[in-house]
Chains A and B, each alone.
Chain A
Amino acid sequence: MSIWDYANPRKFMQTSGVVLPWIAGLAMLMLTVGLFWGFFFTPDDYKQGSTVKIIYIHVPAAFIAINAWAMMLVTSLIWLIRRHHVSALAAKAAAPVGLVMTLIALLTGAIWGQPMWGTWWAWDPRLTSFLILLLFYLGYIALWDAIENPDAAADLTSVLCLVGSIFAFLSRYAVLFWSQGLHQGASLSVDSEEHVSNVFAYPLWLCIAGFVMLFVALVLIRTRTEIRARRLSALEARDRMA
Chain B
Amino acid sequence: MIALLTRDLRLATRAGGGFGLSLAFFLILVTLVPFGVGPEASRLTLIAPGILWVGALLASLLSLDRIFALDFEDGTLDQLATAPVPLEAVATMKALAHWLTTGLPLALIAPVLGILLHLPSAAMPWLTVSLLVGTPALSVIGAFGAGLTVGLKRGGLLLSLLVLPLYVPTLIFGAEVVRRGAEGTATATPLAFLAAITLASLAGLPYATAAAIRVNLR
Q: Which chain A residue has the least Cβ–Cβ distance from B157?
A: A142
Q: Within 8 Å CB of A164, what residues of B?
A: 165-166
Contact B176 A177 (CB under 8 A): yes
Q: Nearest chain B CB to A173's CB is how many angstroms away?
A: 8
A25 at the interface (CB under 8 A from B): no
Q: Nearest chain B CB to A118's CB is how many angstroms away?
A: 24
Tell me the interface secondary structure of chain A in the complex.
helix
Contact A159 B208 (CB under 8 A): yes
Contact B158 A132 (CB under 8 A): no
Q: Within 8 Å CB of B212, what residues of A?
A: 155-156, 159
A209 at the interface (CB under 8 A from B): no
Contact B161 A152 (CB under 8 A): no
Chain B interface extent, by class:
20 to 34
Given A156-B212, A177-B190, A177-B193, check contact A163 B168 (CB 8 Å): no
Contact A156 B168 (CB under 8 A): no
B 81-123 contacts with A by CB, 8 A: none
Q: Nearest chain B CB to A89's CB is how many angstroms away?
A: 17
The complex places the Cα of A164 from the Cα of B165 at a distance, in Å, of 9
A138 at the interface (CB under 8 A from B): yes
Given A139-B162, A152-B216, A177-B190, check contact A160 B169 (CB 8 Å): no
Q: Nearest chain B CB to A78's CB is how many angstroms away?
A: 16
Q: Nearest chain B CB to A207's CB is how many angstroms away?
A: 29
A-B residue pairs in contact (CB < 8 Å), sample of 24: A132-B165, A132-B168, A135-B161, A135-B164, A136-B165, A143-B149, A143-B158, A146-B152, A147-B151, A152-B151, A152-B215, A152-B216, A155-B215, A156-B215, A163-B144, A164-B165, A167-B168, A167-B169, A171-B165, A171-B172, A174-B173, A175-B168, A177-B172, A177-B176
